[in-house]
Structure 1
């Protein structure tokens, strides 16, 4: 694939992949081996997270369509082989995160995809794109669960930074583009319509009330984690990719 024509995005916007898209591969070993390698690469390339996560959901029964999608991802890598996360000096020690969810985006069982990216200053240090277990009954529920997962990771990072002797001067901030989920985090009243959410997700409210965490609403146009929950068009993806922090390596 090194001589293949590069593409500008890791995954096409359409059509949506399902378990039964295409013809089932007779020998899925190459598909699984390639994706296994890409999972390691995604540890340092957040722009690959969604595509790798989505295609990994078909590991047990990959088809020709899924294999073509993997080849497209390799074509994207062929054109961005020099890209990565650039860490520079003079970075501050504030923590902030972007959390997003694609409600019911899975075409097979209407599951939601949770995505978050966490920054230490201007450097991305933790990210995830993962399909949530169970089916969310509303977009607010999907976004709230996503924020709970993000808050858990932020809390762990705060503990890790403390052990490393790095002081976080301000309470971490999570940016969410869902008004209902943002309001629910700070509202001490337990809404009857949200009783179906597991109790352990409500620890985020305790963090907000204690001042250890802030949740702030952000416009959908500034939601960086959007690139970790769904495939995006060329223009939108390129914009978000640079905002995420994945850039071409500077000349040495």
Structure 2
């Protein structure tokens, strides 16, 4: 695939991949080996994190469409071999995260995909794109679960920095584009209709009340983790790829 024709996005925005989208592969070994290798590459290329996560869901029964989608990632990588994350020595030590969820985005079981990106200054240092367990009954529930996952990882990063003797100038901030989830974080009154996510609620609220972090609303157009929750059209993907600081640079 080194000399294959490059593409500008790692995954097509349509049609959506399903378990029964085409004929099953007679020998799925190559597919599993390729996706397994891509799982390691996404440790430094967060722009392919969603595509790799999606293809990993079909490891047990890959089809021809899944194989073509996996090769599309290679075509995308062939066109962006020098892209990656640039870490500058001059970087502010403030911590913040973006959290998002694609409510009911899986057309097969209607499970949501949640994602987060954690930044230390301007550098992304931790990210995840993962399918939620169970079905969320509202977009607020799906988004709040995503916030809880981001907060858990954020607190882990804070503990690591504390052990290294690094003090943060301000408490970390989690940015969420769902108004309902943002208000739920700030509202001390727990609504009865949200009791089924009580554990996540009290987990996040506890850290907010302790002053360890805060949750703020961000406009949908400024939500960077969209690139980790769904396949995007070319223009939107390229715009977000630059904003999440996956850029072209010469190796240092």
Same fold (TM over 0.5): yes
Provide the residue aligned with 1:178 in structure 2: 178
Q: Which runs of 5+ in 2 are unaligned?
A: none
Provide the residue aligned with 2:10 in structure 1: 10
Mark the CA change 1:175 to 1:57 in structure 2 (over 3 Å): closer, same or farther: same
CA distance in 1, matches of 2:102, 2:201: 18
Q: Which runs of 5+ in 1 are unaligned?
A: none
CA distance in 1, matches of 2:34, 2:198: 36
Provide the residue aligned with 2:101 in structure 1: 101
Contact 1:99-1:225 within 8 A present in 2 as well: yes
CA distance in 1, matches of 2:224, 2:118: 10
Provide the residue aligned with 1:138 in structure 2: 138
Q: Deviations over 1:166-200 (max 9, x none)?
A: 11110000000000000001111110110121424
Contact 1:148-1:202 within 8 A present in 2 as well: no
TM-superposed deviation, 1:245: 1.0
TM-superposed deviation, 1:235: 0.6
Using the size of structure 1 for normalisation, the TM-score is: 0.98
CA distance in 1, matches of 2:93, 2:26: 51
Task: Please state whether the residue corresponding to 2:197 is helix, strand or coil.
Answer: coil
* Equivalent residue runs for 1:58-207 within 5 Å: 58-207=58-207
Residue 221 (structure 1) aligned with residue 221 (structure 2): yes
Provide the residue aligned with 2:21 in structure 1: 21
* Moved segments of 4+, more than 6 Å: none
TM-superposed deviation, 1:250: 3.6
Contact 1:31-1:67 within 8 A present in 2 as well: yes
Provide the residue aligned with 2:57 in structure 1: 57
Contact 1:113-1:132 within 8 A present in 2 as well: yes
Provide the residue aligned with 2:239 in structure 1: 239
Q: Deviations over 1:25-80 (max 9, x none)?
A: 11100000000000000000110100000000000000000000001111000001
CA distance in 1, matches of 2:52, 2:36: 9
TM-superposed deviation, 1:208: 1.1
Task: Please state whether the residue corresponding to 1:92 is helix, strand or coil.
Answer: coil
CA distance in 2, matches of 1:250, 1:219: 33
Task: Please state whether the residue corresponding to 1:196 is helix, strand or coil.
Answer: helix
CA distance in 2, matches of 1:165, 1:63: 50
RMSD between aligned alpha carbons?
A: 1.0
Equivalent residues, number: 252
TM-superposed deviation, 1:210: 1.6
Task: Please state whether the residue corresponding to 1:26 is helix, strand or coil.
Answer: coil
